[in-house]
């Protein structure tokens, strides 16, 4: 009993918050949706009552001895009312509610949900995005939220109509016998319990299969993305991946089939029992018609409304169960929306107002990821305003993590990062990001126009000349000038007339974005990994011009790009092992000298 109360409480909570969300998206549309549903519940009862009057008047007219065969006006009005009410039902419910408002609301609601989902994910902290638990939650949400939550609203519409219908029919039948609606409701109630049980089973199966569903989507991506197809064709691994895909599909099919197998007997037995009870009730009141206690019209009215009541209760029970099932899928969406901020901004956070790059100081910084793995240990060094600093080390040494801390994607576990002597945690994030320009290894390839690709570096600025200068400085203009549409050329294969670029060309566009932004601090993580040596030289020559008197932080394995830095910081196993200029570190004959000489031998 306690579990049932908890389930109903959770369901009521979801009804409130989903309807609240729907009203936020379009309150007027939601109101009209449910009003037309109410009309759809009431009009059949009114039609049945007018039909009762028509029958009684016909019987009364034909029973009068010697009466002329004519149609009394009251019968004409009653029948006209009957057909008019049916017309109202057809227009209001089947026309407006089902065919019009349902479509509009679903479309509008899906758009609103998508917007909120995209907004939430785009603002999630990196700690959430890199968490396996949150990734599982995202998988559950993205697979179902665009149809399960709109279906929840639609199912509540059906239940609302059924509730209005049950109340209306019960009132209409109460003058004949208060027990008739009560008996029908009791017979239909087991459906609710069985549907709740079925819904829990469906959810337990779905929730348990989320990791496998994620594997299914990933395997499908491997078989359909262009970059994967090229490699799998050479390695001839398509069959192995297809076998894996089939195995995952079979596993998920069997899991999803189980709850349906357990529920199929309910689909047969429940309506059979309800039909028997309705027949018994009709049989029970039939003698009253024979004795004259009830008119033929009344008997017809009772039978018609009784069938309506059976329909509302049986469908209401089924819809209630489905509402509960949808409710279980609604929970992850709100759970995702409720994920708290991990990187919190202090009230009254400070704002940097200087135009020149600030001084950056890492002071005894240590950091461990949420899984407990320590990545950085006691890191201390300073980046002066306008200084060129390179971070060097083997893969996994902690260089990229250091950049994540500077961008405040994570907070330090120990120590502090000072910006002009102010703890980074005390600076307003949006203000700090306005000082940063970034080019990461996994930069975005926007399938938009060339112009959009560059201007998204600073979307609040619309400067055509500045955009073209950035294209020239990054070397991107060398291929842009060959496009017939120039800066209006669509890029990528996602949209019609899109032009696919090479890896190096995409990277030049990404560099153009940073040139367009002209942030006081530029962070570049392997910025020229896909670019030829000649283009790389030209880009860094332009960097010297564009970023003169600005701070440059460079992470790279290519020593040709780091040797000219004012300061090179060597990181090994999360610690700083060496620091100095290129020449100073070569003379030390330490880790840096070994890595440089090893790479230099490859060019001999």
pLDDT value for 205:
44
Over range 556-579, report the average pLDDT.
87
Q: Are 454 and 513 in contact (CB under 8 A)?
A: yes
Determine the 3-state secondary structure of 332 from DSSP: helix
Q: Are 169 and 45 in contact (CB under 8 A)?
A: yes
- Dig out the tokens for 380 from the structure: 């201390």
Residue 199 has pLDDT above 60, yes or no: no
pLDDT tens digit string along 330-355?
989 999 999 999 999 888 899 998 88
pLDDT value for 197:
58
Q: Are 561 and 528 in contact (CB under 8 A)?
A: yes
Separation CA 111–CA 216 (nearest Å): 26
Who's near 88: CB < 8 A, 6+ residues apart?
39, 43
Q: Are 390 and 562 in contact (CB under 8 A)?
A: yes
Closest CA to 529 of 338, 333, 435, 395: 395
- In order, the DSSP letters of 139-194 are HHHHHHHHHHHHHHHHHHHHHHHHHHHHHHHHHHHTTT-THHHHHHHHHHHHHHHH
pLDDT tens digit string along 139-169?
888 878 888 899 999 999 999 998 898 888 8
Separation CA 330–CA 70 (nearest Å): 61
**Using N-to-C axis directions, what is the helix angle for 533-546 and 464-474, rounded to 10°?**
140
| DSSP state at residue 490 | B
pLDDT value for 580:
93
pLDDT value for 78:
58
Over range 572-591, report the average pLDDT.
91
pLDDT tens digit string along 231-266?
777 667 788 888 888 888 788 777 766 666 666 666
Q: Which sign does the torsion angle of CA 471, 473, 478, 479 carry?
A: negative
Separation CA 456–CA 171 (nearest Å): 63
Separation CA 521–CA 316 (nearest Å): 62
Element (H, E) at 435: none
pLDDT value for 206:
46
Who's near 295: CB < 8 A, 6+ residues apart?
52, 55, 56, 59, 289
Least confidently predicted of 42-46, 190-194, 461-465, 473-477: 190-194
Domain with CATH 3.40.50.300 in the chain: 358-435+520-530+550-558+567-604
Q: Which residue has the higher pLDDT, 545 or 464?
A: 464
| DSSP state at residue 429 | H
- Mean predicted lDDT score pLDDT of the chain: 82
Who's near 520: CB < 8 A, 6+ residues apart?
355, 356, 357, 358, 435, 550, 551
Residue 236's φ and ψ, nearest 5 degrees, are: 55, 45
pLDDT value for 69:
46
Q: What Cα–Cα distance (Å) separates residue 315 from each residue in 174, 268, 382, 433, 486? A: 21, 14, 71, 55, 60
Q: What CATH number does the domain located at 25-337 have? A: 1.20.1560.10
Residue 329 has pLDDT above 90, yes or no: no
Domain with CATH 1.20.1560.10 in the chain: 25-337
Determine the 3-state secondary structure of 329 from DSSP: helix
Residue 72 has pLDDT above 60, yes or no: no
Q: Are 92 and 38 in contact (CB under 8 A)?
A: no
Q: What is the end-to-end Cα distance of the chain in Å, rounded?
A: 80
Q: Domain 358-435+520-530+550-558+567-604, what fold?
A: Rossmann fold (3.40.50)
Q: Are 299 and 306 in contact (CB under 8 A)?
A: no
Least confidently predicted of 15-29, 206-220, 552-566: 206-220
pLDDT value for 6:
77
Separation CA 531–CA 524 (nearest Å): 14
Q: Which sign does the torsion angle of CA 423, 425, 430, 433 carry?
A: positive
Least confidently predicted of 60-74, 206-220, 305-319: 60-74
- In order, the DSSP letters of 337-381 are HTPPPSSPPPTT-B----SSPPPEEEEEEEEE-TTS-EEEEEEEE
């Amino acid at each position: 009993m306690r579990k049932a109360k908890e389930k109903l409480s959770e369901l009521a909570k979801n009804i409130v918050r989903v309807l609240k969300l729907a009203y936020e998206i379009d309150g007027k549309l939601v109101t009209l949706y449910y009003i037309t549903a109410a009309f759809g519940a009431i009009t059949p009862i009114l039609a049945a009552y007018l039909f009762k009057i028509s029958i009684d008047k016909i019987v009364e007219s034909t029973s009068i001895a010697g009466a002329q065969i004519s149609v009394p006006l009251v019968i004409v009005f009653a029948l006209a009312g009957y057909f008019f009410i049916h017309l109202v039902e057809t227009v209001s419910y089947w026309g407006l509610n089902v065919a019009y408002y349902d479509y509009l609301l679903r479309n509008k609601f899906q758009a609103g949900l998508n917007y909120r989902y995209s907004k939430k994910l785009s603002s999630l902290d990196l700690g959430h995005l890199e968490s396996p638990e949150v990734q599982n939650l995202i998988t559950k949400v993205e697979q179902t939220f665009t149809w399960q939550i709109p279906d929840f609203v639609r199912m509540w519409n059906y239940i609302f109509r059924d509730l209005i219908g049950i109340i209306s029919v019960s009132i209409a039948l109460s003058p004949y016998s208060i027990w008739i609606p009560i008996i029908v409701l009791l017979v239909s109630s087991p459906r609710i319990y069985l549907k709740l049980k079925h819904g829990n089973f469906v959810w337990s199966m779905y929730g348990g299969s989320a990791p496998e569903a994620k594997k299914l989507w990933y395997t499908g991506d491997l078989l359909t993305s262009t970059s994967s197809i090229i490699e799998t064709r050479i390695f001839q691994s398509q069959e192995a991946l297809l076998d894996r895909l089939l195995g995952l599909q079979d596993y998920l099919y069997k899991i999803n089939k189980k709850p349906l197998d357990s529920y199929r007997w309910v689909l047969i037995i429940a309506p059979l029992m309800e039909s028997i009870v309705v027949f018994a009730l009709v049989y029970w009141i039939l003698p009253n018609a024979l004795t004259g206690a009830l008119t033929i019209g009344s008997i017809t009215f009772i039978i018609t409304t009784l069938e309506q009541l059976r329909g509302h209760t049986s469908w209401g029970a089924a819809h209630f169960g489905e509402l509960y099932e949808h409710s279980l899928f609604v929970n992850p969406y709100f759970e995702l929306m409720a994920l708290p901020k991990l990187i919190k901004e202090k009230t009254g956070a400070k704002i940097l107002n200087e135009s020149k790059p600030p001084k950056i100081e890492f002071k005894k910084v240590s950091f461990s990821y949420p899984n407990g793995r320590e990545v950085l240990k006691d890191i201390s060094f300073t980046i002066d305003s306008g200084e060129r600093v390179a971070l060097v080390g083997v893969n996994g040494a902690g260089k990229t993590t250091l950049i994540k801390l500077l961008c405040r994607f994570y907070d330090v576990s120990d120590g502090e990062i000072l910006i002009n002597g102010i703890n980074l945690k005390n600076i307003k994030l949006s203000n700090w990001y306005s000082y940063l320009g970034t080019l990461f290894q996994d930069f975005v390839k926007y399938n938009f126009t060339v112009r959009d690709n560059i201007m998204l570096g600073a979307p609040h600025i619309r400067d055509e000349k500045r955009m073209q200068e950035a294209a020239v400085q990054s070397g991107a203009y060398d291929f842009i000038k060959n496009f017939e549409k120039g800066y209006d050329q669509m890029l990528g294969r996602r949209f019609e007339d899109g032009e696919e670029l090479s890896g190096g060309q995409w990277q030049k566009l990404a560099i153009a974005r940073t040139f367009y932004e002209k942030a006081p601090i530029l962070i570049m993580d392997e910025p020229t990994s896909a670019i030829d040596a000649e283009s790389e030289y030209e880009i860094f020559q332009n960097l010297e011009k564009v970023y003169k008197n600005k701070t440059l932080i460079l992470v790279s394995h290519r020593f040709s790009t780091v040797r000219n830095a004012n300061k090179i910081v060597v990181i090994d196993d999360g610690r700083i092992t060496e620091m100095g200029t290129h020449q100073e570190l070569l003379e030390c004959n330490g880790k840096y000298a070994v890595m440089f000489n090893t790479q230099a031998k490859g060019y001999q």
